[in-house]
């Protein structure tokens, strides 16, 4: 399973490992919904991520939007791995997880 | 679903390889034709990019090396040579083998791949082995950023790309497409998230992102479209040129007289008549190709035609029921269904009709390779490639045509030296032709070689005990001996032919298709082998006839007319099987006698006059029942040796009717019955005067 969820009193950390693509999309959405529902801070770690696809990107984007609207703090650990940065740039996202035009 | 799209890729890739081979062979003839270089490059580029997208990394990496070579040709760094063409053809074969392996075929030989790649690198001067392409880095990792960018003036394009609901589930990846586009020039990517719903409502396996792209490139729109070739059906795509900002001298501001009112009116009318382009130009899904054709697996088509065949049989039963019950309402419905079934049958047959071009074009490669191996100079000309034939017939044509071409190349065509001595052009010609002839298609394989030595054929046939030494044989009969099993006059057996198995195989294959073969040849001028094949093997228009309790079907296409034959007519002919139709003597075959049927003949019989390859002959039956849509069923392996019938059909009452083959029936009858044979012009023998013959029949 390339998705790991760590929970503490205040923070939920989601770590994505290796290739995270459409095959993990249903699972990732469920975890994000759980995390957002808990109203805890949500932290995303991509340190060990090799690849993301657009289904993952749009889920993270939707999660970030949902977090903002319901007052949940959403952070992405920086710096991003090179492969992820390149993928994000190729997909037209200037500042992950926000697209260039947002 | 991913498998479905992979399958679609495999099928498309096979088509692209055919296009690649065709381009390479043409390029061999016209080595400076940049358009052909572009065709070959695009084919390789598409196979590589799409292969990587669908997970065929090895195929993509292999193809990439060859693509690099053709990129070097495009950029003037490498010249087209015979070696490069041969190497490219070998590489194309290897790519095909990789596709076959992916479809469950035998594994590819890695050593062959390695050898080809080593040779490609030697040619291109690139010593480093290629980088293996991964699915996530399909193109951009391996191709230098400028390698595929065409030289020349650039222009700006605006591209709208919106993946459809099933895009991701199909295995496609938008990022790979964006990266491939990036190779074509300078790309600015803008992701639009407007359609992404709240996370609670979001379908995780669906892509909601769409992209607005600006591309500055020197490549044509076609090359941009090619990037999306395998996803055109599952995305919304619009590619529009952006108006050039560079001032056009032709549009410089000049002082013009004011526009008059009539001119203004004209302008307004013209503007109203102008077709407004859609905001994003033509969508991918609106392209003529997508709108006018779809790809259907051959098995589904066969099933469809089989079902139509069953429907035709049931419709015949309904027709019989309607006749028996004499109910006008049932009769009316039955007639309507008959009309619809007939139209459906026509349509289903037409769907299966394919032009012979693809089959013929495949032989360019064979001729190219054999000419190289045999050290002969041979040109292949193709005529009538648009002639259409049932797919099931075409599928079985490959082997016979291959044997014929190999024979021509090996035995028919002389060496260049010998041709020069004979005053012939050093380059020989093989002509592959097709044309319609009634309900048949004639396919010819001709060469301008040395011709067949009829005396040698005869001597060999006598030696093998196929004919008696003193047998009186026409030239056509001598040539037909070549088709006998194990016959060969070749003095040496080569890798190409000479084992005496080829022509027998050709004969059996063609006869299995209910066709026949004719050979003509002139010494020093060449040989023509003509295959006469039926248009379809599925359903034909037939004429249903009855003899005693048995039913037969004669192909309607070969029947001419029906006349009555009384016992007096038979008596007047003095036992000779001839009828006189408007002064013309027509020999006939009494099916009752021919098939040794015991039932009593009626007072008045019917003669169905048919046009056969041996001229006009009659077939005497008890009754002509009328037109019959005939669904052809094979007789099965047990009766496969029966040559006089081309199959059987099931009638409305469940009875079986044999479908007669008039040509074979006449030939057999000439041999076995006291039937008067016609000569090659269809004339009856001149040994008797016309008056004498009339007297004999009167």
CB contact A72 to B (< 8 Å): no
Residue of A26, A53, A99 lying closest to B173 (CB–CB): A53
Subunit contact B175:A90, Cβ cutoff 8 A: yes
Residue B248 pLDDT grade (very low, low, confident, very high; cuts 50, 70, 90): very low
Kindly state the average pLDDT of the residues B65-74. 86
State residue B493's pLDDT score: 46
pLDDT by residue (tens digit) across B125-156?
Answer: 765 544 444 433 333 333 333 344 555 678 88
User: Which chain A residues contact residue B174 at CB under 8 A?
Assistant: 54, 91
Q: What sign has the CA pseudo-torsion B217, B219, B221, B227?
A: negative
Q: How far is CA B260 from CA B99, B256, B264, B267, B518, in A?
A: 67, 12, 6, 11, 76
Across the interface, of A36, A51, A101, the residue whose CB is closest to B190 is A101
Residues paired with B542 in a beta bridge: B555, B628
CA dist B333 → B39, B310, B315, B327, B628 (Å): 55, 18, 10, 10, 18
CB contact under 8 A, B193 and A29: no
Question: Is B182 close to A57, i.e. CB distance below 8 A?
Answer: no
**β B623-631/B428-437 pair status:** unpaired
What the block records as the tokens of B177 is 């497409």
pLDDT, residue B151, reads 56
To the nearest whole angstrom, how far is the Cα of A40 from the nearest Cα of chain B?
A: 17
What number of H helices and E strands is found in chain A? 3, 6
pLDDT for B285 equals 38
Per-residue confidence (pLDDT) for residue B489, from 0 to 100: 58
- Cβ–Cβ < 8 Å for B138, B49: yes
Q: How many CB atoms lie within 10 A of CB B640?
A: 11
> Which residues in chain B are closer than 8 Å to A92, comparing Cβ atoms?
178, 189-191, 211
- Which pLDDT band, with edges at 50, 70 and 90, does B405 fall under? very high
Res. B302: pLDDT tops 70: yes
User: Using CB atoms within 10 A of its CB, is residue B271 exposed (0-12), middle (13-18) or buried (19+)?
Assistant: exposed
pLDDT for res A101:
45
Q: How confident is the model at residue B681 (pLDDT cuts 50, 70, 90)?
A: low
Counted across chains A and B, CB pairs separated by less than 8 A come out at: 86
| C-alpha separations of B292 from B16, B262, B347, B633 in Å | 20, 43, 16, 33
Considering only CB atoms, A93 lies closest to which of B191, B202, B207, namely: B191
Under an 8 A CB cutoff, do B191 and A32 touch? no
Are residues B204 and A26, on separate chains, in Cβ contact within 8 Å?
Answer: yes
Residue B31 three-state SS:
coil
Q: Are B443 and B531 in contact (CB under 8 A)?
A: yes
A99 → chain B, closest CA residue: B191
Q: What average pLDDT score do residues B410-431 get?
A: 90
pLDDT of residue B687 exceeding 60: no
The pLDDT of residue B244 is: 58
Task: Tell me: cis bond preceding A97? Omega within 30 of 0 counts.
Answer: yes
Is A29 an interface residue toward B (CB < 8 Å)?
yes
ipTM entry = 0.93
Which of these ranges, A97-101, B306-310, B401-405, B428-432, has the smallest mean pLDDT?
A97-101
State yes or no: pLDDT of A57 exceeds 50. yes
Which of A44, A90, A93, A101 to substitute to test the interface with B, most B CBs within 10 Å? A90
**Cα distance between residue B528 and residue B447, in whole Å:** 7
Task: Tell me how close the Cα of B56 comes to any Cα of chain A, in angstroms.
Answer: 18
Residue A72 with chain B: CB contacts under 8 Å: none
* A29 CA: distance to closest CA in chain B (Å): 7
Mean pLDDT of chain B: 79
Q: Which of A29, A53, A99 is opposite residue B202, by nearest beta carbon?
A: A29
- Nearest Cβ partner of B189 from A28, A63, A90? A90
Contacts of B179 in chain A (CB under 8 A): 90
Distance between CA atoms of residues B649 and B490, nearest Å: 43
Give the range with max mean pLDDT: B263-277, B289-303, B348-362. B348-362
Distance from CA of A91 to the nearest CA of B (A): 6
Q: Which of A90, A99, A78 is nearest to A53 (CA)?
A: A90
**Spatial separation of the C-alpha atoms in residues B92 and B114, rounded to whole Å:** 14
> CA A50, A51, A52: angle at the middle one, nearest 5?
140
**CA distance, residue A34 to nearest chain B CA (Å):** 10
Mean per-residue pLDDT, B596-617: 87
Selected residue with higher pLDDT from B656 and B294? B656
Query: Nearest Cβ partner of B168 from A22, A29, A93?
Result: A22
Q: Which of B305-309, B592-596, B621-625 has the lowest mean pLDDT?
A: B305-309
Stretch B88-105: mean pLDDT, rounded? 90
Residue B361 pLDDT exceeds 60 = yes
> Which residue in A has a C-alpha nearest to residue B199's C-alpha?
A62
Is pLDDT above 80 for B437?
Answer: no
When pLDDT is cut at 50, 70 and 90, the band that residue B354 belongs to is: confident
The pair of structure tokens assigned to B636 is: 């099965």
Contact B362, B336 (CB under 8 A): no
Residue B315 has pLDDT above 70, yes or no: yes
SS (H, E, C) B521-547: EECCCEEEEEEEEECCCCEEEEEEEEE
Q: Residue B277's pLDDT is what?
A: 37
Average pLDDT for B47-71: 84
Taking the CA of residue B168 and the nearest CA in chain A, the distance in Å comes to 7
Nearest to B352 by CA among B388, B385, B386: B388
How much is the pTM? 0.56
Mean pLDDT of the region B370-376: 90
Does residue B380 or residue B262 have the better pLDDT? B380
Q: What is the pLDDT of residues B530-543, one digit of tens each?
A: 998 877 776 778 89
CA distance B269 to B506: 66
Q: Cβ contacts (< 8 Å) between B208 and chain A: which residues?
A: 58
For the packed helices B82-102 and B57-74, what is the interaxial angle rounded to 10 degrees?
Answer: 160
Following DSSP, what letter does each residue of B599-666 receive, concatenated? SPPPSEEEEEEEEETTEEEEEEESEEEEEEEEE-B---GGGTT--SEEEEEE-TTS-EEEEE-HHHHH
What value does the CA radius of gyration of chain A take, rounded to a whole number of Å?
Answer: 13
Q: pLDDT tens for residues B3-43?
A: 667 777 888 888 889 889 988 998 988 888 888 888 898 88
Q: Which residue has the higher pLDDT, B301 or B272?
A: B301
B535 vs B356, more confident = B356
- Nearest Cβ partner for B207 among A28, A54, A93: A54
- Best A29, A62, A72, A102 member to test B by mutation, with max B CBs in 10 Å, is A62
Write down the pLDDT at residue A17.
Answer: 92
Residue B621 has pLDDT above 90, yes or no: yes
pLDDT at B286 (0 to 100): 38
Partner-chain contact A90 B193, CB within 8 Å:
no
Distance from the A72 Cα atom to the nearest Cα atom in chain B, whole angstroms: 14
Judge whether B49 and B227 are in contact, CB under 8 Å. Answer: yes
Interface subset of A 81-100, CB within 8 angstroms of B: 87, 90-93, 99-100
Q: Which of B1, B16, B28, B55 is nearest to B367 (CA)?
A: B28
Q: Does A33 touch chain B (CB under 8 A)?
A: yes
Reported as type and span, the H/E element at residue B161 is: strand B155-163
Asked if pLDDT for residue B375 goes beyond 60, the answer is yes
Diameter of chain B measured on Cα atoms: 102
A3 phi, psi to nearest 5 deg = -120, 125
Candidate from B179, B202, B211 with C-beta closest to A59: B202
DSSP string, B443-481: EEEEE-SS---HHHHHHHHHHTTSS-TT----HHHHHHG
pLDDT digits (tens, 9 = 90+) for B553-594: 998 888 899 998 888 888 777 778 888 888 888 899 999 888
B474-478: average pLDDT: 85
Interface test with B, best of A20, A84, A86, A91 (most B CBs within 10 A): A91
Mean pLDDT of B121-125: 80
Where do we find the tokens 């650039």?
Answer: B154
Average pLDDT of the segment spanning A28-45: 92
- The lowest-confidence range among B238-252, B377-391, B589-603, B617-631 is B238-252
State which residue of chain B sits closest to A25, comparing Cα positions.
Answer: B204
More confident residue, B406 or B535: B406
| pLDDT for position B382 | 93
Nearest CA in chain B to A91: B175
Which residue would you say has higher pLDDT here, B189 or B567? B189
Q: What integer pLDDT is reported at residue B65 of this predicted model?
A: 85
Please tell me which of the candidates B191, B204, B205 has its beta carbon nearest to residue A99.
B191
């Amino acid at each position: 399973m390339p998705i790991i969820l760590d929970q503490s009193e205040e923070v939920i950390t989601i770590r994505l490992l290796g290739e995270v693509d459409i095959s993990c999309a249903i699972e990732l959405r469920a975890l994000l919904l759980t995390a957002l529902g808990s109203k805890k801070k949500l932290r995303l770690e991509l340190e060990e991520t090799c690849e993301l696809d657009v289904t993952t990107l749009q889920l993270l984007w939707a999660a970030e939007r949902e977090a903002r609207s319901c007052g949940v703090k959403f952070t992405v650990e920086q710096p991003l791995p090179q492969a992820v940065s390149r993928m994000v740039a190729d997909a037209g996202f200037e500042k992950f997880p926000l697209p260039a035009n947002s | 679903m991913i498998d479905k799209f992979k399958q679609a890729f495999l099928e498309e890739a096979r088509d692209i390889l055919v296009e690649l081979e065709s381009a390479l062979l043409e390029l061999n003839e016209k080595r400076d034709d940049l358009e052909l270089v572009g065709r070959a490059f695009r084919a390789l580029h598409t196979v590589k990019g799409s292969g990587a997208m669908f997970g065929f990394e090895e195929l993509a990496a292999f193809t990439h090396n060859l693509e690099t070579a053709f990129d070097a040709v495009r950029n003037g760094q490498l010249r087209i040579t015979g070696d490069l063409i041969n190497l490219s053809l070998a590489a194309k074969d290897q790519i095909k083998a990789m596709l076959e392996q992916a479809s469950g075929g035998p594994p590819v030989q890695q050593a062959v791949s390695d050898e080809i790649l080593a040779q490609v690198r030697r040619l291109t001067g690139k010593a480093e082995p290629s980088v293996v392409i991964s699915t996530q880095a399909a193109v951009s990792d391996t191709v230098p950023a400028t390698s595929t960018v065409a030289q020349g003036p650039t222009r700006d394009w605006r591209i709208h790309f919106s993946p459809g609901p099933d895009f991701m589930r199909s295995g496609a990846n938008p990022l790979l497409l964006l990266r491939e586009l990036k190779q074509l020039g300078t790309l600015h990517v803008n992701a639009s998230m407007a359609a992404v719903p709240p996370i609670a409502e979001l379908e995780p396996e669906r892509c909601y992102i769409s992209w607005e792209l600006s591309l500055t490139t020197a490549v044509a729109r076609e090359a941009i479209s090619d990037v999306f070739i395998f996803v055109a059906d599952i995305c919304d795509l619009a590619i529009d040129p952006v108006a050039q900002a560079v001032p056009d001298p032709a549009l410089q501001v000049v002082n013009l007289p004011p526009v008059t009112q009539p001119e203004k009116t004209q302008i307004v009318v013209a503007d109203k008549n102008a077709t407004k382009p859609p905001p994003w130009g033509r969508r991918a899904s609106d392209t003529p190709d997508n709108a006018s054709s779809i790809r259907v697996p051959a098995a589904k088509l066969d099933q469809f035609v089989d079902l139509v065949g069953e429907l035709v049989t049931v419709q015949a039963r309904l027709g019989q029921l309607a006749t028996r019950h004499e109910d006008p309402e049932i009769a009316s419905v039955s007639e309507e269904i008959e009309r619809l079934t007939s139209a459906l049958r026509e349509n289903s047959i037409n769907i299966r009709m394919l032009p012979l071009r693809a089959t013929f074009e495949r032989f360019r490669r064979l001729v190219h390779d054999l000419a190289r191996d045999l050290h002969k100079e041979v040109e292949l000309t193709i005529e009538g490639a648009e002639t259409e034939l049932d797919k099931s017939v075409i599928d079985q044509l490959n082997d016979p045509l291959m044997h014929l071409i190999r024979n021509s190349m090996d035995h028919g065509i002389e060496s260049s030296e010998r041709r020069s001595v004979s005053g012939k052009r050093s380059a020989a010609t093989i002509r592959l032709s097709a044309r319609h002839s009634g309900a048949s298609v004639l396919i010819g394989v001709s060469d301008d070689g040395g011709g067949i030595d009829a005396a040698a054929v005869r001597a060999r046939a006598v030696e093998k005990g196929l004919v008696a030494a003193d047998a009186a044989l026409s030239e056509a009969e001598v040539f037909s001996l070549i088709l006998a099993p194990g016959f060969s006059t070749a003095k040496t057996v080569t890798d190409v032919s000479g084992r005496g198995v080829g022509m027998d195989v050709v004969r059996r294959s063609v006869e299995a298709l209910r066709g026949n073969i004719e050979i003509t040849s002139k010494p020093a001028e060449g040989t023509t082998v003509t295959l006469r094949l039926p248009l379809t093997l599925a359903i034909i228009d037939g004429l249903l006839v009855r003899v005693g309790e048995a039913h037969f079907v004669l192909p309607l296409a070969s029947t001419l007319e029906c006349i009555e034959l009384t016992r007096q007519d038979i008596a007047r002919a003095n036992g000779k099987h001839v009828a006189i139709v408007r002064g013309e003597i027509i020999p006939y075959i009494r099916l009752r006698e021919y098939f040794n049927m015991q039932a009593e003949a009626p007072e008045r019989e019917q003669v169905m006059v048919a046009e056969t390859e041996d001229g006009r002959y009659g077939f005497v039956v008890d009754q002509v029942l009328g037109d019959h849509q005939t669904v052809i069923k094979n007789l099965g392996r047990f009766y496969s040796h029966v040559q006089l019938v081309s199959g059987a059909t099931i009638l409305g009452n469940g009875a079986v009717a044999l479908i007669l083959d008039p040509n074979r029936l006449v030939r057999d009858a000439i041999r076995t019955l006291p039937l008067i044979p016609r000569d090659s012009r269809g004339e009856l023998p001149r040994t008797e005067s016309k008056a004498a013959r009339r007297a004999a029949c009167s």
